[in-house]
Chain A
Amino acid sequence: MEGVQILSVSDLLRVSRPLTGAASLRSSSSSSPPSKRSKLQSIQENPPDAPLLLSDPNPNPRIFSPLKRPVLLIGIIDLFREDVDHCCMSRNQCLSFSDGSSRICCSVLDLDLEIIGREVHVLAWNFVPFKDKKGGVLEVIRWSLPASEAALELAASLSIPSTSSSQDTNLISRSRAFGILRSISPVFSVPCAKQSRDQKNSPCGNLFDAGDSIGFLADVLTCSCELCCNSSSIADCHSSVKENTCHSFTKSMFVYFLTPTSWWRPVLCKLIGKLIIVSGLKKKLIFVGGKESYVMFVTTVKSVVSLPQFPMKVKPLIGRPMSPSGGVYKGVVTGVYMQGMAVELDGKVWLLVTDPQLAPQHCLRVGAVVSVQNFHWVHPKFSWTRMLLLGTCTRTSIDIESFSLSETSCRSRSQSQSLLGKLIDSLTFSARFWVLLLISCFKRKFAMIFSDKEILGSKNKEGLVQTYASNYLPSNAFQSQHGMFMNFCKHDQCPCRSESSLEPLKLAIPISNFISRCEAKWVMMLSQKQQVTEIVGRKHCLDHFICEGISNCCMIRRIISSEDLGFVLMGALKVSPSSGRLQLVDATGSVDVVIPDLLSNNIDQNIYEVKSYKLVLEGLPMQLDHWQYHFDEPLLCRNIFKHFSYKRTLNQLSVYVQFYLGDTTCLNVASHVPSFMVGSNNLKSSGTEMFHLLLVTHKFPANDNFQDEVMSDSSSLFADAFVFPYNLYFRETNEDSQLAEVMQDNQKSKSDFIDHQKDLTEEWSKQPRLVNSSSRIPLTASRNSCQDFERRLCNIPCSHSFTFRRSNLHGSLLPGYLCSGHSSAVQGLLANHPASRILLEFKSDSFSKYQLLRLGAYYILKCSNKGLLCYVEDCECLARGKVLVDSQTNLWSLSFSFDEIMQHEPAQDNSSGVSSVIVGGTTSFQNELLFLQSLDQIQGTSDVHLHLSVGSTEPMKNEMEAVKHALTRFLAMSGCILSVSSCVQIMMGELIRPSGITDPQSSKLLQGNQISLNGDIENVHMYDCKSGSCMSFQYVANGDRWRVCNICIHVNDDHQMVRIRGGISRCAYPVGMGPGANATFHRVLVTCTSSRRPELVLTPISFIVINSIKEVDCQHGKEVFLPSSRLSMLDENFLNTFSLSLISQMKQCVDSKLVRFRCRVVAIHFLVLESHPTGSARLQSGRQFKMPEVKIPLAGFVLDDGSSLSCCWADDCQAETLLRLHETSCQAFFCGHKFSGRAGNRNSQHTIGNQLERILKKNHRVIIRNYGAVPDLSCSDLTFSFDSDNIFSNSEERLLRFIILNACCGSILNVLGNKLDSDSLKQLDSELLESQASIQSLQNVWVKEVWDVNPLNEARNLLL
């Protein structure tokens, strides 16, 4: 064997890197192993081979570096003796390999008993160093005996070395076991005290002198045939094998391999399933747990394990039905996780290694082929996934069938001693695997929040995982623990039986997996939708909502319940500084959340577990390329165990979660005691604490440059609030007093308190400097005036329900008093006091406080004034009507309750016929999610709850009534919210106001009233963006690519629809805004456009609150075409209420009266077209339905209703509708002789809209006059004039003629207008009127509104 080099073990250890080598890379397997001579030769030829290893540097320790030359290892394969504890696996799995230089662990694929303790040539091998570089494992793939050794035919047997060969003739060791080795247990030790008396007195007792008895159990299936039973020696057994081939191995026999034979386990585990003969045994009766007893055969020093000399065909146990345990699973290891406790096989089956001694951990690497015997099939009840688990027990054996070359790291796991380890050991298979997943989840989720020790715990302290798991797991997830004897012997009592009674377990998955799962679900949902549409035969399912000719894709919203998802969310609540949204956060990611009952604006660092929630997915139904979106299922156990790489792929998808704070569980309850209460000394020293009561009435939206302000320390976050005319006081109390005592002393303390107040009042009255001239207390405060003041003080005890949520003080009793801070008489105060309005300014470090502040909720704010009596007007902290809220300031949410039930009924102002809306839902329907719960229902989640008890005395009752009245009144004052119908009425008031042609300058300023409006959002779309870039609608919802954008919101109720337009910043864009949402728009401006059409505008102070959302699903291929007049804001039902009239009757009408007539366009006699001043005003997203960028300052139409002709003047939208531009702009128009109808290619540049735009871009302004005779104003008498000097081409002229002709071929329309008065007529071009004498005779009408005719409705109205 020329060229073969011999490596020593010390060489391998010195290099200490993964190596693989073979003695013969080319020679056939039959080639004889090298002789010693040739070996020596080769060594001489190739001096010691450090260069062989060093010349092949392996930069990557994760890859096996193959040795390119044939190498050979020569050494002795032996068992580890007890005195050598080489590695943790040495007792159970490892053999040793030594060549005199060193000794390492060793694993042999095809182990033969005859090589134990003999020198072998290792022909093919892998070497894997340990991590600590102090050793390694040699994986022997092929070996051979040296020729000299092979000649010696030694019996293939295991026996005790002859050191103890002092044959004791008295030793009764005639028993033997002959049969199939079915299973063996790991090596275990039994404390000496528990040894049976027999063992203690046994002749081999000297073997146990070390203390504990160490050994393992083996289950051997023996044959009970006569021949076997009568064979008394090994030779008989061999002969019986030879003679009788009809053995039936069915009788189970336990053999207890006691030290020193316990060393044999690494060999015996290779013999499982084979026929073995164990001789030299001693029969014993062993009691287990004092109840059960088993007949066992214990090994002695004379014990020998041998194989039959003659091969015998044994019926294999493989495939034998041993349900639910038993069987063999062979597979490739595809993942090893959690220190080898969870092993993935073939990418689908999981092997749960319950005892590290069971698995050959050195070799159990990814890529290895293993066979597992005697395991338990388990189908864990996991709610989020289905899987197959192979549970291991004391009988399980895991054997390596092929070593791995793909992974090089060796694992070693020690027996867990921590509390968590004990917990895991006490669980059933499912629960145990669940805990492993949970550990992995928690470690990933809280990587930066908690240390490993906090998560996993230690020997003495429970970690987060254990606390959570022990609370979560039901009692039947725990199983009673037995010793090794019991477990091994009672194997048939399967522990996995209890699995079936387990409730499905849910897992708190990392948020990155959750988001990825949502994306996968969304893609799956859309692809299913696509398939359905393909089946139906439609080419696409994109729905369009068309607003003013601009097409917008309709959104889809799906609400999925947590029951359907099957996992739990967990994380901390945090307000995202970038988006301003409330999020549930863990170390892997974040998800937006909506909490309807969140009232507090003080978010703590607690970890919340959310079991019950609703997931909302909303986005556009994009056409999906299945290949593009391929998701590795994020909830596979593999992806939970390993570091899951997550990259958000779907920009158009918006994911958020709604849940109630009341349904959550807080994992680590942090102290939630207000700072002013924590320091009790402080409380005592100050004596009394006073708080202002605030009712938040409005929040000014955060603008987009908020993040810049973090640096500059300035702020633009504001909120409006009313200051309640009562202040809240806390008085010093004896904390040690018992609840009952305090209750009994309540009255007393109250009187004390009044005395105290008196003192303070006197003190206060002696300080005239604090009183300004506006105060109602005279400066010359006399005793009388003070008494007068005392009399006017009202004190309302807030007894025994002043509680702080989630605090240790919950249920504690803190007497507090409401005192009127105003000096006027109580009754008068409440009736007439003007609401004191203050502005809350939030510093940039209190952004989360601002975001969580709720409109219409009460808060308490600590007063910095030390005096007891504090006027709202005079208080220092409310000076200048502004309060600065920084991170130190606490705004505690406050809820009230009274002894009797009190309904907060906002006063409805119906005097103007306008109805208000009560906002804040109480019930939710199916597929509807509440975003805001009404304040009455969420008292439990407020920071502070104040229970006002009715006093026994009559004055107290009056005061209480006064407080109630004040509460109700303040709520009513916080603003009336209108319905859409009421809003339309207000807008109609603007419309009906008589108008003619107004000064365009005056329309540049936004003027109007602010209203608050509630309604259902029908659609939201962009119509402009300051970025100037072409953005599509899909970014509206996602909001990570824009800072401010102009949106158009269509809001309706059951009857009417309005449109709200305006700019909104990303921070102010609420979660869930989109079709199907019910929203309240606070402080929206009602104004008029330049064409005097009333409209609603979002201003920089408008604030949008989403109340609820519903599921939205688009209908296939449905395009919602709405004429512009419908979209303008006014519902046709309302417009139809105007009386129908005839043009011929208009002469009798007064000028200002709006009349409606049903007419058709006969001719156009005057038309001015201009290019739109803001060219980018309309988005490109709906290119195919795009309206041309045309402005129509004035147009004159001849209309005919059958009774007469009239000359109608219109501009902008009305003129566009009368011109039918919305119909024609998407038609093609060619310059040739023929024009076609609708363009085949809608994106063509030949559409009328495009061409008209081009003309106007070139000429800026075109004026068209018609000098024909009424009514046959054909286009032959048209004249064109322009602002520019450009030449007007024929094709351009043709286009304009076509538009005019086309306008005269329309159907009937409804026109609402009023007669033009003489003043307005004068503003019209006099020349124009003079030149068209025929027009002059007609009635002049200014068109206010144009809309389509609904023949059925109008016919009905005519009959009614």
Chain B
Amino acid sequence: MDPIQLAHVKLLTSDLLCLTVWPSNPPCSTWKGRPTSRAETVGVVVSRECKDKFLRFLVDDGSGCIPCILWLNHYYLISHGGSSNLDLMADMILKQSEIVQLGKLVRVRGMLQITVRDVVVERDPNAEVLHWLDCIRLAKQCYDLLPAVTLPGSVRNSPQDGYDQESQEWGLLFQPKRSLSYFFFILMQSLLRDTPSPGARPPTPHGNPNDPSF
């Protein structure tokens, strides 16, 4: 088995959105021919929709927005004869759902598409930059290397393949709310000056995704 299949791959949203879904059971995505099923991203919550059974939110990592879903239906499962241990899990997930607030920089990992396993609020805004660099590093050192094991019959799609008709619609939805220039501005600002304390930095304009300046 390819070791990255079980790991949470660190991909930029633009890449995550290009993953090819491999029709298997369970369904599996591939990145450059390598099967992946879990991913991790760091970005700002730019949209949030809470229902009884789930919380749906968009995480913008600068390269795109990825939809995330956090299932809150553990209590339903408990009442329908699920394990009593689920209530602890339910409590924790409920708590996590509370911390997903607009404008928060979060680290999300879970099954692809992304069915959220856990959310962590990052206190240090530099964590996002580090995530980008980690994505690049992993891509160079791991993901872009020849796969140890490839799925039979898998086809590496060209980048353009990701933008089929369906994807184009998704693309409109998942277009990055923050421009790439902002992305680099933050990057350079972060790296070229001394370490700011997280609390001392002015709040980034993440909070309002409808702001035209985005």
- A1142 touching B138 by the CB < 8 A rule? yes
Q: Are A1200 and B133 in contact (CB under 8 A)?
A: no
Which chain A positions have C-beta within 8 A of B3? 1143-1144, 1203-1205
B83, B95, B130: the one contacting A1355 at CB < 8 Å is: B130
B134 close to A (CB within 8 Å): yes
Task: Name A1334's closest neighbour in chain B (CB-CB).
Answer: B6
| A1352 and B126 form a contact (CB under 8 A) | yes
Query: Quick one: which of A1254-1278 are within 8 Å of B by CB?
Result: 1270-1271, 1274-1276
Q: Are B4 and A1204 in contact (CB under 8 A)?
A: yes
Q: Does B56 contact A (CB under 8 A)?
A: no
Contact B89 A1307 (CB under 8 A): no
Contact of B118 among A1235, A1304, A1353, A1354 (CB under 8 A): A1304
Let me know if B89 and A1275 touch, CB within 8 A.
yes
| Chain B stretch 2-18: residues in CB contact (< 8 A) with chain A | 3-4, 6-10
B53 interfacial contact with A, CB 8 Å: no
Mark each residue of chain B from 52 to 79: 1 if its CB lies under 8 Å from any CB of chain A, else 0: 0000000000000000000000000000
| Chain A residues near B129 (CB-CB < 8 A) | 1351-1352, 1355
State A1358–B8 Cα separation when bound (angstroms). 20
* Interface residue B161 (Cβ < 8 Å from any Cβ of A): no
A1246 contacts partner chain B, Cβ-Cβ < 8 Å: no
Q: Give chain A residues whose Cβ lies under 8 Å from the Cβ of B141.
A: 1142, 1145, 1203
Chain A CB within 8 A of B191 CB: yes
Q: How far is the CB of B78 from chain A (nearest CB, A)?
A: 10
A1235: B residues at CB distance < 8 A: 91
Chain A residues 811-838 with CB under 8 Å of chain B are: none
Q: How far is the CA of A135 from the CA of B85 in the complex (A)?
A: 101
Q: Is B21 an interface residue (CB 8 A)?
A: no
Q: Roughly how many angstroms separate A1142 CA and B109 CA in the complex, as a whole number?
A: 18
| Contact of A1301 (CB < 8 Å), options: B7, B38, B92, B195 | B92
Binary contact readout B74-111 vs A (1 if CB under 8 angstroms, 0 otherwise)? 00000000010111110110011000000000010100
Q: A1307-B122, A1358-B133 are in contact. Are A1233 and B87 (CB under 8 A)?
A: yes
Specify which chain A residues have a CB less than 8 angstroms from the CB of B126 in the assembled complex. 1351-1352, 1355
**At the interface, yes or no: A1298 with Cβ under 8 Å from chain B?**
yes
A805 contacts chain B at the CB level, 8 A cutoff: no
Please indicate which of the listed interface residues A1234, A1274, A1305, A1359 has the most CB atoms of chain B within 10 Å of its own CB.
A1305
Inter-chain contact B7/A1352, CB cutoff 8 Å? no
Contact B4 A1352 (CB under 8 A): no
Complex Cα distance, B129 from A1162, in Å, reads 22
CB-defined contacts of B191 to chain A, threshold 8 Å: 1352, 1355-1356, 1359
Chain B residues with CB below 8 A from A1356, complex form: 191
> Of B10, B85, B86, B190, which one neighbours A1202 at CB under 8 angstroms?
B10
Given A1204-B3, A1305-B118, A1274 and B89 contact (CB-CB distance below 8 Å):
yes
- Assembly CA distance A1349 to B83 (angstroms): 36
A1271 to chain B, nearest CB (A): 5
Nearest Cβ on chain B to A846's Cβ, whole angstroms: 55
**8 Å CB contacts to B: which residues of A1302-1319?**
1302, 1304-1308
* Residue among A1270, A1274, A1302 with max Cβ neighbours from chain B (10 Å): A1274
Task: Report yes or no: B92 in contact with A1205, Cβ–Cβ below 8 A.
Answer: no
Name A338-363 residues within 8 Å CB distance of B: none
A1297 within 8 A of B: yes
B1-40 interface bits toward A, Cβ cutoff 8 Å, 1 = contact, 0 = none: 1011011111000000000000000000000000000101
B residues less than 8 Å from A1186 (CB atoms): none
Task: Give complex CA distance A1162, B122 in Å.
Answer: 17
B85: nearest residue on chain A (CB-CB)? A1276
A707 to B123, CA, bound (A): 56
- Residues of B near A1294 (CB, < 8 A) are 88
Is B137 on the interface with A (CB-CB < 8 A)? yes
Q: How big is chain B's contact interface, by range?
A: 35 or more
User: What number of residue pairs across chains A and B have CB atoms under 8 A from each other?
Assistant: 108
Q: Does the CB pair B124–A1234 fall under 8 Å?
A: no
Which A residues are CB-close (under 8 A) to B88?
A: 1275, 1294, 1297-1298, 1301
Assess whether A845 is interfacial by the CB under 8 Å rule.
no
Kindly report which residue of chain B lies nearest to residue A1272, judged by CB atoms.
B117
B155 within 8 A of A: no
Using Cβ atoms and an 8 Å threshold, which residues of chain A touch B142? 1142, 1144, 1202-1203
Beta-carbon contact of B7 and A1202 below 8 Å: yes
- In Å, the complex CA distance between A1302 and B96 comes to 11
Please give the distance in Å from A318's CB to the nearest CB on chain B.
69
- Nearest A residue to B121 via CB reads A1307
- With A1202-B138, A1355-B130 in contact, do A1306 and B120 touch (Cβ < 8 Å)? yes
Known: A1142-B138, A1235-B91, A1355-B126. A1203 touches B133 (CB 8 A): no
Give CA–CA (A484, B178) in the complex, Å: 100
Bound complex: CA of A1203 vs CA of B141, how far in Å? Answer: 9
Residues of chain A within 8 A of B127, CB atoms compared? 1307-1308, 1349, 1351
Evaluate contact between A1205 and B7: CB separation under 8 angstroms.
Answer: yes
The reply on A454 being an interface residue by CB < 8 A is no
Q: Which of A1204, A1307, A1359 contacts B7 (CB 8 A)?
A: A1204
Residues of A993-1023 at the interface with B, using a CB-CB cut-off of 8 Å, are none
How many angstroms between the C-alpha atoms of A1294 and B7 in the bound complex?
A: 28
Quick one: closest A residue to B125, CB to CB? Answer: A1351
Q: Is the CB of A1276 within 8 A of B83?
A: yes
Q: Which residues of B contact A1271 (CB under 8 A)?
A: 6-7, 38
Task: For A1145, list chain B residues within 8 Å (CB).
Answer: 141
Bound-state Cα–Cα, A1205 to B134, Å:
16
Inter-chain CA distance A1350–B83, complex, in Å, is 39
Task: Tell me, in angstroms, the Cα distance from A1276 to B124 when the chains sit together.
Answer: 33
If A1297-B88, A1307-B122, A1351-B126 touch, whether A1202 touches B195 (CB-CB below 8 Å) is no
A1307 touches B120 (CB 8 A): yes
Q: Which residues of B contact A1301 (CB under 8 A)?
A: 88-89, 92
Complex Cα spacing A1200 to B10, Å: 11
Nearest chain A residue, comparing its CB with the CB of B192: A1356
Q: Which residues of B contact A1202 (CB under 8 A)?
A: 4, 7-10, 40, 134, 138, 142
CB contacts under 8 Å to B, within A238-279, are: none
The answer for the CA separation of A916 and B9 in the assembled complex, in Å, is 47
Could you say which residues of chain A place their CB within 8 Å of the CB of B9?
A: 1202
Residue in B closest to A1352 when the chains form the complex, CB atoms: B126
Known: A1202-B10, A1202-B40, A1307-B122. A1353 touches B195 (CB 8 A): yes
The residues in A between 601 and 619 inclusive whose CB is less than 8 angstroms from any CB of B are: none
Q: Give which listed residue, B38, B83, B107, B133, contacts A1307 with CB less than 8 A.
A: B107
A46 to chain B, nearest CB (A): 93
Smallest Cβ-Cβ distance to B195: which chain A residue: A1352
Complex Cα distance, B129 from A259, in Å, reads: 108
Q: How far is the CA of A121 from the CA of B153 in the complex (A)?
A: 138
Closest to A1162 in B: B8
Q: Give, as a whole number of angstroms, the nearest-CB distance from B43 to chain A.
A: 14
Kindly state the separation between the CA atoms of A843 and B125 in the bound complex, as whole angstroms.
64
Contact residues, B165-204 vs A (CB, 8 A): 190-191, 195
Partner of A1234, one of B91, B133, B137: B91
Q: A308 to nearest B CB, angstroms?
A: 88
State the CA gap A1353–B142 with chains docked (Å): 23
Chain B residues whose C-beta falls within 8 Å of the C-beta of A1349 in the assembled complex = 127, 130
Query: Is A873 on the interface with B (CB-CB < 8 A)?
Result: no
17 A-B pairs within 8 Å (CB atoms) are namely A1202-B4, A1202-B7, A1202-B10, A1202-B142, A1271-B7, A1271-B38, A1294-B88, A1297-B85, A1301-B92, A1302-B92, A1304-B118, A1307-B107, A1351-B127, A1351-B129, A1352-B195, A1355-B130, A1359-B191
Could you list 18 further interchain pairs (A-B, Cβ under 8 angstroms) beyond the known A1298-B88, A1353-B195? A1142-B141, A1142-B142, A1160-B109, A1200-B7, A1201-B7, A1202-B4, A1202-B142, A1203-B142, A1205-B7, A1274-B89, A1275-B89, A1276-B83, A1305-B120, A1307-B127, A1308-B127, A1351-B126, A1351-B130, A1355-B190
The 8 closest A-B pairs by CB, nearest first: A1351-B126, A1204-B3, A1351-B130, A1202-B10, A1203-B142, A1352-B126, A1358-B133, A1351-B127
